[in-house]
Copies of this chain bind each other. A is one copy, B any other.
Amino acid sequence: MSRRLRMGMVGGGAGAFIGAVHRHAAALDGQIDLVAGALSSTPEKARASGRALGLPEDRTYGSWEEMLERELSREDRIDFVSVVTPNHMHYPVARAFAAAGIHVISDKPLVTSSEQAADLMRVVAETGVVFAVTYNYTGYPMVRQARQMVRSGQLGELRKVTVEYHQGWLAEEQDEATNKQAGWRTDPARSGLGGAIGDIGSHAENLISTVTGLELEAVCADLTAFVPGRRLDDDASVLLRFRGGARGLLTVSQVEIGAENDLRLRVHGTRGSLLWRQEDPNHLTYDTLGGPRQVLTRGGPGLSEEAQRATRLPAGHPEGFLEAFANVYLGAAAHIRAGLEGQGHTPDYPTVEDGARGVHFIERVVESSRGGEKWTDAVWTGGQGQMATTRQE
């Protein structure tokens, strides 16, 4: 290892769940130091949060603009910024840092419109910065294993993909005063077009795309806001058609009482099937034509090189959400480090294009839900050239 990387953070102050997640994920492997932050849009709160985290006074900024300006003037400036604000702020913040040549790790969904996404892709292409989007579920070793098995043809030709992402925490009307998370997530001005479909549906889309490489052709969606007064969907069911004839189903909900963070993926081909569940992430169920069910286990026998690289502990020692999240950070850090050392590198993390494709997906699903036609075109052409590069395996 060369030197530890220096990280700044925008958003993620006291009470923000996802800020702490990013900080744990960055810290876990001892390769990254959080050295600067603009942790809240309220300067006072930003400074209090910085103090609570032990940030140096002079790098605890009252706004992200101040942070960008002052960091650029430092010798020991931050190597990258983590953007963990509500959705509507992803675009201005990420764009400004990227344009200034500072690498970016952004939470999802990338931005709130395809226009913003296209612009951001352009900036990233021009400046050459590393840009990662924290589709963290793809960081799980057994998701990497699934990707390797599917893409190497172990399941045969794909027929059907089902992804479900169910939660129950928005089953009741939420009071923004008491639940900061619920507040902005159900507000179109800050969350974007999609409610549940944006918040967790984008994870679901990314999981399908990452594991299978299938390209969407069309969607048929039914979005619902079950809780009275809610302005964005809290439940969505989407039929999927992929190029080449595979079919799929994507369902998300935030009103299924009892569901915690129940993301599951099932992939079925002509030769076998896979099942993965985020709440039991260390296992992958593998069925074949005419053989008994196999339960593959992280750190266990028969895993791919790819899965092993993403693994920290032996089998039976559960890894969880933070380790997977940290794998996204490790992926981006490796790319940044390669740049520092002037070496070539093949990205292995969700890129700005993954983010842009996710935004496009949300838009098409919302469009489909509003319309009376059965199938809505959902082909994404935005970044195929570059995708081919970053997804090569």
A374 contacts the other chain (CB 8 A): yes
Chain B residues whose CB sits within 8 angstroms of the CB of A222 once the complex forms = 220, 239, 241, 247
State which residues 311-350 of A face B: CB under 8 Å.
Answer: 312-323
Chain B residues whose CB sits within 8 angstroms of the CB of A302 once the complex forms = 291-292
A316 touches B53 (CB 8 A): no
Assembled-state Cα–Cα distance A181/B73 (Å): 49
Q: A299: nearest residue on chain B (CB-CB)?
A: B260
Assembled-state Cα–Cα distance A273/B254 (Å): 13
Give chain B nearest CB distance to A287 CB in angstroms: 2
Assembled-state Cα–Cα distance A251/B295 (Å): 25
Assembled-state Cα–Cα distance A51/B274 (Å): 41
- State the copy count for this chain: 4
Indicate which residue in B262, B288, B318 contacts A316 across the interface (CB closer than 8 Å).
Answer: B262
State which residues 167-217 of A face B: CB under 8 Å.
Answer: 167-169, 171-172
Assembled-state Cα–Cα distance A2/B299 (Å): 38
Using known A-B contacts A247-B237, A273-B258, determine if residue A317 contacts B320 with beta carbons closer than 8 Å: yes
B258 touches A287 (CB 8 A): yes
**Which DSSP category, helix, strand, loop or mixed, fits chain A's interface?**
loop
Using known A-B contacts A3-B54, A167-B316, determine if residue A288 contacts B257 with beta carbons closer than 8 Å: yes
State which residues 356-385 of A face B: CB under 8 Å.
Answer: 371-375
Using known A-B contacts A29-B27, A292-B295, determine if residue A249 contacts B251 with beta carbons closer than 8 Å: yes
Indicate which residue in B281, B289, B371, B374 contacts A171 across the interface (CB closer than 8 Å).
Answer: B289
Chain B residues whose CB sits within 8 angstroms of the CB of A294 once the complex forms = 292-295
Give chain B nearest CB distance to A324 CB in angstroms: 9
Chain B residues whose CB sits within 8 angstroms of the CB of A100 once the complex forms = none
A45 contacts the other chain (CB 8 A): no
Chain B residues whose CB sits within 8 angstroms of the CB of A27 once the complex forms = 27-30
User: CB-CB contacts of A24-58 with B at 8 A, as 1s and 0s?
Assistant: 10011111001000000000000000001110000
- Which of A15-23, A81-89, A103-111, A118-126 contacts its partner? A15-23
Using known A-B contacts A4-B54, A247-B237, A320-B320, determine if residue A160 contacts B374 with beta carbons closer than 8 Å: no
Sample 10 A-B pairs with CB under 8 A, ordered by A number.
Answer: A4-B54, A168-B273, A220-B220, A220-B374, A257-B268, A257-B272, A291-B302, A292-B301, A293-B297, A319-B321
